[in-house]
């Protein structure tokens, strides 16, 4: 028998019941199937709303006492999956839930790769509570490097140099993933000046961060730049499961943003969040592909059945599962 050292029960008992791994797959599957009906239709709102409604409905069937800590907006802004909403059947473990029902909504509306439906389930209090509409500066690398070889406050040049040195390769063999935005023009120039290859993505930095931790499969060594703050927490949860380093720093450059952050308890604007400040304790991460992507296939809608492809993982055991499912319709 092959001995699996990490999941053979030798360690402290996990706080989250493991059957919840499969339960949350059902939720992202439903969200993805609903959004898939809106692929390529150019209607971002409708696609997002469909994913929200389906996830919300499926979540209510799980035996948890869940609390949404990262949702679609604040209570007065959205009907479902708002911050503070209680979800689940109301019996079972008290947990925190973070969602991005349609990560990469533009990708879905244009039927381009890598739009996903994402859910994280964590121990109560495990996740940094951040509101939508806030941005976070992020840096992420894969596992196997010495601690803190890159730092969010260092320049991009310093970071890629440190990474190349640790990897034992020239800078020309480093690939950085960056969101293609005007705000990143100087970052992209700086990286290219160093000789680094820059992979630009039009959206979807949860996938971007995960890709940086799967260098062997993706060729991406580092993720850099700013994107949605909730996506930062969700990505950190994923990295807790697959290994890697990440830091985040919220961009709170106006009184309005600072007020928004304060409403979820964030009062120190300059805090640098380590990966465990973003997502601590036992966390489960699930993402189902909506459009085809490099991690998962998109939803296949057929007359009689529907196929979904999901990645689901857990930090305690560091198990990564790919769940391919066929659903009757």
Applying CB under 6 A, which residues contact ligand VTB? 103-104, 181, 203-205, 227-228, 231
CA distance 241 to 296: 17
What Rg value do the Cα atoms of the chain yield, rounded? 19
- Cβ-closest residue to Mg ion? 103
CA distance 133 to 257: 8
Of the pair 88, 104, the CB lying nearest ligand VTB is at: 104
Q: How far is the CB of 243 from Mg ion (least distance, A)?
A: 23
Q: How far is the CB of 118 from Mg ion (least distance, A)?
A: 8
Structure tokens at 62: 């799980």
Q: How far is the CB of 12 from Mg ion (least distance, A)?
A: 33
Q: How far is the CB of 205 from Mg ion (least distance, A)?
A: 8
270 marked as part of a ligand binding site: no
Q: How far is the CB of 44 from ligand VTB (least distance, A)?
A: 10
Of the pair 96, 205, the CB lying nearest ligand VTB is at: 205
Residue 156: strand, helix, or coil? helix
Give the contact letters, 53-92, x = binds to Mg ion (CB under 5 A), - = no: ----------------------------------------
CA distance 176 to 212: 8
Query: Of ligand VTB, Mg ion, none, which one does residue 203 interact with (CB within 5 to 8 Å by kind)?
Result: ligand VTB
Of the pair 137, 310, the CB lying nearest ligand VTB is at: 137
Of 96, 103, 114, 205, which one interacts with Mg ion (CB under 5 A)? 103
122 C-beta neighbours (distance < 10 Å), count: 26
DSSP state for residue 92 in the 8-state scheme: S
The burial class, CB within 10 Å (0-12 / 13-18 / 19+), for 274 is middle
CA distance 272 to 258: 15
155 C-beta neighbours (distance < 10 Å), count: 12
Residue at token pair 């310093």: 158
CA distance 147 to 67: 33
Q: How far is the CB of 153 from ligand VTB (least distance, A)?
A: 20
Residues numbered 6-25 forming contacts with Mg ion, rule: CB under 5 A: none
**Judged by CB under 5 A, which stretch of 21-29, 100-108, 237-245, 250-258 contacts Mg ion?**
100-108
72 marked as part of a ligand binding site: yes
Of the pair 84, 90, the CB lying nearest Mg ion is at: 84
Of 23, 100, 205, 221, which one interacts with Mg ion (CB under 5 A)? 100
231 marked as part of a ligand binding site: yes
Q: Does 123 bind Mg ion (CB under 5 A)?
A: no
CA distance 203 to 62: 31
Q: How far is the CB of 47 from ligand VTB (least distance, A)?
A: 12
CA end-to-end span of the chain: 40
The DSSP line for 226-279 is EEEHHHHHHHHHHHHHH--EEEEEEE--SHHHHHHHHHTT---TTPPEEHHHHB
103 marked as part of a ligand binding site: yes
Of the pair 100, 282, the CB lying nearest Mg ion is at: 100
Structure tokens at 323: 């769940």
Size of the site for Mg ion (CB under 5 A): 2
Binding site for Mg ion (CB under 5 A): 100, 103
Q: Binding site for Mn(2+): what residues are annotated?
A: 48, 72, 100, 103, 231
């Amino acid at each position: 028998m092959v001995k699996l050292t990490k999941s053979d029960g030798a360690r402290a008992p996990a706080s989250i019941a493991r059957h919840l791994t499969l339960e949350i797959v059902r939720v992202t599957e439903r969200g993805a199937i609903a959004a898939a009906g809106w692929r390529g239709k150019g209607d971002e709102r409708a696609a997002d709303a469909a994913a929200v409604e389906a996830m919300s409905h499926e979540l209510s069937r799980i035996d948890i006492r869940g609390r949404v800590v990262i949702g679609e907006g604040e209570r007065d802004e959205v009907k479902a999956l708002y911050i503070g909403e209680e979800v689940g059947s109301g019996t079972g473990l008290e947990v925190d839930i973070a969602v991005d029902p349609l990560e990469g909504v533009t990708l879905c509306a244009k039927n381009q790769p890598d739009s996903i439906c994402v859910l994280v389930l964590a121990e109560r209090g495990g996740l940094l509570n951040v509101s939508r509409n806030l941005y976070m500066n992020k840096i992420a690398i894969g596992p196997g490097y010495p601690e803190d070889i890159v730092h969010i406050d260092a320049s991009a040049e310093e970071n890629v140099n440190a990474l190349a040195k640790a990897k034992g390769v020239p800078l020309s063999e480093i690939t950085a993933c960056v969101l293609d935005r005007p705000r990143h023009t100087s970052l992209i120039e700086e990286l290219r000046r160093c000789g680094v290859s820059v992979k630009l993505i039009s959206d979807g930095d949860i996938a971007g961060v995960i890709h940086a931790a799967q260098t062997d499969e993706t060729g991406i060594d580092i993720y850099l730049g700013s994107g949605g703050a909730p996506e930062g927490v969700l990505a950190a949860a994923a990295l807790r499961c697959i290994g890697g380093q990440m830091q985040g720093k919220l961009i709170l450059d106006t009184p309005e943003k600072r007020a928004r952050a304060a409403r979820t308890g964030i009062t120190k604007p300059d805090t640098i969040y380590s990966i465990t400040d973003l997502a601590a304790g036992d966390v489960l991460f699930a993402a189902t592909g909506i459009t085809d992507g490099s991690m998962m296939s998109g939803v296949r809608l057929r007359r009689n059945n529907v196929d979904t492809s999901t990645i689901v993982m857990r930090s305690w055991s560091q198990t990564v599962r790919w769940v391919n499912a066929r659903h009757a319709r």
